[in-house]
Amino acid sequence: MEEMKVTKFPEGFLWGSASAAYQIEGGWREDGKGITNWDQFVRIPGKTYKATTGDVAVDHYHRYKEDIALMAEMGLKTYRFSVSWARIYPEGRGEVNPKGIEFYENIIDECLKYGIEPMVTIYHWDLPQALVDLYGGWESEEIIEDYVNYAKTLFKAYGSKVKYWITFNEQNIFTSLGWLTAQHPPGKFDDQKTFYQVNHHVFMAHAKAVLAYREMGGTGKIGASFAYTPSYALDCKPENVMSKHDYDELKNFWWMDVYAYGRYPKAAMNYLRKKGFAPVVTKDDQKILKAAAAEIDFMGVNYYQSCVCEYNPMDGVTPYGTMNTTGVKGSAQVLGVPGIYKNPGNPYLMTTDWDWSIDPVGLRYCCREITSRYDLPIIISENGLGAFDKKTEDHKIHDEYRIDYLREHLKELGKAIEEGCEVLAYCTWSFTDLLSWLNGYQKRYGFVYVDREEEEGATLDRYKKDSFYWYQDVIKQDGENL
Ligand code: BGP
């Protein structure tokens, strides 16, 4: 298609940034908060980089005013954050903890004070451990009711102030790492049958929460955030093109089709039936998924990288191998599913120190695919660069690589908008530096540097990086200076 010039982003475009409770808050046992699955998991030796935990994180629990003041100084239009279920319901169900309700109320009010639109993620991976002990967490369909009850509590408490709701963050990631690769709680390995059933429970929880929101009169926007890794066929060899198609059905449309259409992709479902991994889906479930799909207002996209698909023979690579959690470039392995696809590197793209490909066009591809396949508005709920940042002696952080990364992605997003995609918001990951689940504190994403290492004890002071001033200017000029 003809090259388009990036013009102004739409009126009211939400320039934003994002975080998640476990990764920033700390205060892990304060004010009645219950223990979560992550509080337990990080204590298992070898699970996280240098045994890092979110016990203190970047102490946002006590410094939220300072952090939100920095957002206001930057001119942020929206701040996406998550609520920790265990602060609201320490046991996952039962008695509400008023201190938990109050904490997020304060955050929301603080945002509104500066004209920053709060965007709330209801579930960003930290689950009350009590529900795991009680019935196995997401493995039991009992959790659907508890999740919906928790979501309704948030709608009731904050519904008049919050207009953007994200039911789940990256369902595809937390379930894959939880039940296939054992890297997230509950640390199960290659349990495909449970993986698909767990996903079905999450879909039902999402759908019932969306319907509950509408029943309660919610007039804001609601949807889920999907970790979208778009794919390119290695070349025009037909079996490689088919491997891309299979990849998309199994790794992308499996989630997005359910959110947007309320049904699973057919070929993928047939494949899983043959394998004996397909979830149990009742007629009633189908109705509920369809009803909820008609009610979602956007597709949330977390975009970091694209991938390449090549046919993978039956004796080829498996989905399990070393992941780069150290920042030592080149330590990740090529993975795939025998008989279907594998994901070799892309020779046309550079990679980050954690071996993630850097592909601004991939972001545009995501938007175009969603627009043509689902015709839904889009919220880019995460996009950013994890890097080693260095603070100079005079407290400056010259992260021009992050500016380059974000600028190039925003240019492509601008083109997608020009081409007809309706994009409501763009949230960078992340505002302050924070804990990377498996990669410790050394993998930094923020506009604001936080003085802390893997070990506790540093000042936790905040310093604005060069990218802070750059994004401030982008917002001021509504993207015209990109
Ligand atoms: C997404 C998560 C975020 C964040 C981000 C960066 O998958 O939603 O919580 O962690 O990825 O990933 P990482 O910290 O692994 O670099």
DSSP string of 401-448, one letter each residue: HHHHHHHHHHHHHHHHHHTT--EEEEEEE-SB---BTTTBTTSB--SE
> What's the pLDDT at 4?
54
Give every CB contact of residue 199 below 8 A, 6+ residues apart in sequence: 171, 175, 254, 255, 279
C-alpha span between 107 and 116 (Å, rounded): 11
**How many residues are listed for the chain in this entry?**
482
Instruction: Ligand 1, residue 436: give the atom nearest the CA.
Output: 14
Q: Closest residue (by CA) to atom 15 of ligand 1?
A: 436
Q: Closest residue (by CA) to atom 10 of ligand 1?
A: 436
pLDDT band for position 459 (cuts 50, 70, 90): very high
ipTM score above 0.95 = yes
Q: Closest residue (by CA) to atom 12 of ligand 1?
A: 436
pLDDT at 423 over 80: yes
Domain presence at residue 482: no
Give the Å distance between the CA of 125 and the centre of ligand 1: 11
H or E element in which residue 366 lies: helix 360-374
Q: What is the DSSP letter of 429?
A: E
Q: Which residues are catalytic?
A: 170, 382
pLDDT at 431 over 80: yes
Domain presence at residue 9: no
| CB-based contact 229:251 (threshold 8 Å) | yes
pLDDT mean over 441-464: 97
C-alpha span between 272 and 197 (Å, rounded): 12
> What's the pLDDT at 481?
86
Enclosing domain of residue 470: 14-476
pLDDT at 5 over 80: no
Give the Å distance between the CA of 239 and the centre of ligand 1: 32
Domain presence at residue 7: no
Give the Å distance between the CA of 275 and the centre of ligand 1: 31
pLDDT at 191 over 70: yes
Burial of 189 (0-12, 13-18, 19+ CB in 10 A): exposed
Choice from 173, 175, 255, 436 to test ligand 1 binding pocket (greatest atom count within 8 A of CB): 436
- How many C-beta neighbours within 10 Å does residue 268 have? 18
SS3 345: coil
The sign of the torsion formed by the CA atoms of 419, 427, 472, 402 equals: negative
> What's the pLDDT at 333?
86
pLDDT at 83 over 60: yes
Instruction: Ligand 1, residue 20: give the atom nearest the CA.
Output: 9
pLDDT in tens, 259-306: 999 999 999 999 999 999 999 999 999 999 999 999 999 999 999 999
Q: Read off the CATH number of the domain in which 86 is found.
A: 3.20.20.80
Choice from 123, 382, 454 to test ligand 1 binding pocket (greatest atom count within 8 A of CB): 382
Domain presence at residue 51: yes
Q: Closest residue (by CA) to atom 14 of ligand 1?
A: 436
**What is the number of domains present in the chain?**
1
> What's the pLDDT at 323?
81
C-alpha span between 254 and 264 (Å, rounded): 6
Q: What amino acid is encoded at 445 in this protein?
A: Y
C-alpha span between 111 and 127 (Å, rounded): 25
Q: What is the DSSP letter of 253?
A: I
C-alpha span between 303 and 253 (Å, rounded): 15
> What's the pLDDT at 363?
98
| CB-based contact 100:88 (threshold 8 Å) | yes
- Pick from 162, 175, 225, 242: nearest CA to 202: 175
Bigger pLDDT: 76 vs 3: 76
Give the Å distance between the CA of 299 and the centre of ligand 1: 18
Pocket of ligand 1 (CB under 6 A): 20, 23, 169-170, 173, 227, 302, 382, 386, 429, 436-439, 443
Q: Say what angle helices 192-215 and 142-158 make with each other, to 10 degrees.
A: 30
Give the Å distance between the CA of 436 and the centre of ligand 1: 6
Q: E strands, 191-332, where? A: 221-227, 231-233, 299-302, 307-309
Domain presence at residue 432: yes
Domain presence at residue 2: no
pLDDT in tens, 212-250: 999 999 999 999 999 999 999 999 999 999 999 999 999
pLDDT in tens, 334-370: 999 999 999 999 999 999 999 999 999 999 999 999 9
pLDDT at 478 over 90: yes
Instruction: Ligand 1, residue 384: give the atom nearest the CA.
Output: 6
Instruction: Ligand 1, residue 437: give the atom nearest the CA.
Output: 14
- Pick from 258, 261, 260: nearest CA to 250: 258
Domain presence at residue 1: no
Domain presence at residue 8: no
- How many C-beta neighbours within 10 Å does residue 173 have? 17
Give the Å distance between the CA of 437 and the centre of ligand 1: 7
- Give the largest CA-CA distance in the chain: 64
pLDDT at 330 over 90: no
